[in-house]
């Protein structure tokens, strides 16, 4: 069984970040609901437990509390923020309402350098706080091992039991040495090795896939995006020709999209690829439609229809593979306003109806996005595929404002190709979240040579984001903007004006529709 750290989620905004920090130490981590019974946790044989932060107060009537028997499992426990207060509250200490919220940076002074959490770290560290309540009395057996100006209990320890509490957040980037604190916990205290790597995971996943599917056939909807591409490469390694990938051309793909997918998977990887060119059908149904939500619905429904028909032609598959990731399967804790719990319904258009009679294979479902990328590289996929920017399922249709017509698709495709090319050659494409062109249904007057033109406008959008939930517009250098505008206006027939979008999210969205 893989060595692992269990993280109990008390509704913190940062629970997934904690899980990623642990995995960055090459130790597997699993997020479980705060009230998971201790016997279920014990069954996983964790090497240690981390209690996440959370928005509640331990003394509130409906405060989320863990099964107290977790403290009897004999494994090290690290409580972070609310997790530290839980340790104190449940083991006999005292937590009170702080007079004011402690928020932001402070300097941690390690008062007991023998505490294994701070091994090989300086006596003073910058840390980041965000809490309202504070610990006022330690439970028996605990002692303070670090303080801040505002907190005499910034870090506490029960050395014999190997229980630790931190008032601050070691998982956030504003605690610069936080990674080392996690490394000290998982390696030094819990005794974990460094076995969790994508190189090792390939072997494990291949075995698991083979064990699950046996000799049966598997189909996979390949979109060309990171997740489905990595899933395809992994499944192909595991089961070769038992896998058929279905790629649907929905008529609103970017330039050369279909060719690239065929080149990479059919020709290089020798994957069995069924190419469904349904561009005409999609575009016929989109004719005259201008409402963004209707466009999404039409594309979503048509995709399912085309995909279902394609699966029938693909033969007798028993399994449907999907590139589901770990954040999609973590059971979210509905406490306070946990942004991780917000799901945007319109982003699920690629989802297939549950009534399709397939068993699911989801070989990426315990991985975070950064791990999926790593795995992709491990499997031999190129950086171009593994680090591609996100692209919406409804494709260019939500970047063509107003009606989607073949002529407009061509204009946007050409403009978008220039944006991608220039961003890549400026070394910016892989550094930012998304950069693309949008076709506005606005025509304006221009002059080209001696001629008067009356053509469309292209908006250039470039945003920085962590997860697409919020975004900042990127301050692209003037030289790049100039090059983009001049190339688009000169090279793309039908465009005579370029504008740059300087809207952040919120209040704007990333896509224009």
| Residues recognised as catalytic | 81, 169, 171
Check residue 119 and report its DSSP letter: T
Query: Does residue 511 belong to the site contacting ligand XMP (CB under 6 A)?
Result: yes
Query: Does residue 369 belong to the site contacting ligand XMP (CB under 6 A)?
Result: no
Q: How far is CA 9 from the centre of its chain?
A: 18
Q: Number of helices (H) and strands (E) in the chain: give both, helices first.
A: 14, 18
Query: Does residue 393 belong to the site contacting ligand XMP (CB under 6 A)?
Result: yes
Query: Does residue 295 belong to the site contacting ligand XMP (CB under 6 A)?
Result: no
- Torsion angle defined by CA atoms of residues 52, 54, 57 and 61, in that order, rounded to the nearest 10 degrees: -100
Residue nearer to ligand XMP on the CB measure, 100 or 344: 344
Query: Does residue 510 belong to the site contacting ligand XMP (CB under 6 A)?
Result: yes
Counting every residue written for the chain, the total comes to 513
Cis peptide, bond prior to residue 506, ω within 30 of zero: yes
**Minimum distance from residue 389 beta carbon to ligand XMP (Å):** 8
**Minimum distance from residue 303 beta carbon to ligand XMP (Å):** 11
Query: Does residue 346 belong to the site contacting ligand XMP (CB under 6 A)?
Result: yes
Query: Does residue 420 belong to the site contacting ligand XMP (CB under 6 A)?
Result: no
One of 65, 349, 366, 417 touching ligand XMP (CB under 6 A): 349
**Minimum distance from residue 345 beta carbon to ligand XMP (Å):** 9
Residue nearer to ligand XMP on the CB measure, 158 or 399: 399
Residue nearer to ligand XMP on the CB measure, 161 or 347: 347
**Minimum distance from residue 298 beta carbon to ligand XMP (Å):** 12
One of 236, 296, 388, 497 touching ligand XMP (CB under 6 A): 296
One of 347, 410, 483, 487 touching ligand XMP (CB under 6 A): 347
- The rounded distance, in Å, linking the Cα atoms of 478 and 484 is 10
Could you say which residues in the range 422-481 bind ligand XMP, by CB under 6 A?
434, 468
Beta-bridge partners for 79? 51, 165
Query: Which own/partner contact pairs does 59-62 have at CB distance under 8 Å and 24+ positions apart?
Result: 59/89, 59/95
- The rounded distance, in Å, linking the Cα atoms of 103 and 502 is 30
Query: Does residue 390 belong to the site contacting ligand XMP (CB under 6 A)?
Result: yes
Query: Does residue 501 belong to the site contacting ligand XMP (CB under 6 A)?
Result: no
Contacting residues for 24 by C-beta, under 8 A, at least 6 apart: 179, 182
**Minimum distance from residue 341 beta carbon to ligand XMP (Å):** 16
Size of the site for ligand XMP (CB under 6 A): 15
Instruction: Return the sign of the alpha-carbon dihedral for residues 104, 110, 115, 120.
Output: positive
Query: Does residue 509 belong to the site contacting ligand XMP (CB under 6 A)?
Result: yes
Query: Does residue 24 belong to the site contacting ligand XMP (CB under 6 A)?
Result: no
Check residue 265 and report its DSSP letter: I
Interface stretch with ligand XMP, choices 49-57, 124-132, 258-266, 390-398 (CB under 6 A):
390-398
Q: In what order do the strands lie in the sheet with 4-9?
A: 28-33, 4-9, 48-51, 77-80, 163-166, 155-158, 143-147, 94-110, 124-137
Could you tell me if 243 and 236 are in contact, meaning their C-beta atoms sit under 8 angstroms apart?
yes
Could you tell me if 459 and 474 are in contact, meaning their C-beta atoms sit under 8 angstroms apart?
no
Enumerate binding residues for ligand XMP (CB under 6 A). 296, 346-347, 349, 390, 392-394, 398, 434, 468, 505, 509-511
């Amino acid at each position: 069984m893989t060595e692992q750290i269990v993280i109990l989620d008390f509704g913190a905004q940062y629970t997934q970040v904690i899980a990623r920090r642990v995995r960055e130490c090459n130790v597997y981590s699993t997020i479980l609901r705060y009230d998971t019974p201790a016997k279920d946790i014990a069954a996983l044989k964790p090497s240690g437990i981390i209690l996440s932060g959370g928005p509640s107060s331990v003394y509130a009537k409906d405060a989320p509390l863990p099964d107290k028997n977790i403290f009897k499992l004999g494994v090290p426990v690290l409580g972070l923020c609310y997790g530290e207060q839980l340790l104190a509250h449940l083991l006999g200490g005292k937590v009170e309402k702080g007079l004011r919220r402690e928020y932001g940076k402070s300097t941690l002074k390690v008062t007991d350098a023998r505490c294994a959490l701070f091994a090989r770290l300086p006596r003073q560290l910058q840390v980041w706080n965000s809490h309202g309540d504070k610990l006022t009395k330690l439970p028996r057996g605990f002692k303070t091992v670090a303080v801040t100006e505002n907190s005499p209990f910034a870090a506490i320890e029960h050395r014999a039991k190997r229980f630790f509490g931190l008032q601050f957040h070691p998982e956030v980037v504003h605690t610069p040495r936080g990674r080392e604190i996690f490394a000290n916990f998982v390696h030094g205290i819990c005794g974990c090795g460094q076995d969790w790597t994508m190189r090792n995971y390939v072997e494990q996943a291949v075995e698991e896939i083979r064990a699950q599917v046996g000799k049966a056939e598997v189909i996979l909807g390949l979109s060309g995006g990171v997740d489905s591409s990595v899933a395809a490469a992994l499944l192909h390694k595991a089961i070769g020709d038992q896998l058929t990938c279905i790629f649907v051309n929905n008529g609103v793909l970017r330039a050369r999209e279909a060719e690239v997918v065929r080149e990479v998977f059919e020709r290089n990887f020798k994957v069995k690829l069924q190419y469904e060119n349904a561009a005409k059908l999609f575009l016929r149904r989109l004719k005259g439609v201008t409402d963004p939500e209707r466009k999404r619905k039409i594309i979503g429904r048509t995709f399912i229809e085309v995909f279902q028909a394609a699966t029938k032609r693909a033969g007798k598959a028993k399994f449907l593979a999907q590139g589901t990731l770990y954040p999609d399967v973590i059971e979210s804790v509905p406490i306070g306003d946990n942004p991780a719990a917000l799901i945007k319904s319109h982003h699920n258009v690629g989802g297939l109806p549950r009534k399709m009679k397939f068993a699911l294979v989801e070989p990426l479902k315990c991985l975070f996005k950064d791990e999926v990328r790593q795995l992709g590289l491990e499997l031999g996929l190129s950086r171009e595929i593994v680090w591609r920017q996100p692209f919406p399922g409804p494709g260019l249709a939500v970047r063509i404002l107003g009606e989607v017509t073949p002529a407009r698709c061509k204009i946007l495709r050409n403009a978008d190709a220039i944006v991608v090319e220039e961003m890549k050659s400026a070394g910016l494409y892989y550094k930012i979240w998304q950069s693309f062109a949008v076709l506005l249904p606005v025509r304006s007057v221009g002059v080209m040579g001696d001629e008067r033109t009356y053509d469309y406008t292209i908006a250039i959008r470039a945003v920085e984001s962590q997860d697409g939930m919020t975004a900042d517009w990127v301050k692209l250098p003037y030289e790049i903007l100039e090059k983009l505008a001049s190339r688009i206006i000169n090279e793309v027939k039908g465009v005579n004006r370029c504008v740059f979008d300087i809207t952040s999210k919120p209040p704007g969205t990333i896509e224009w529709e």
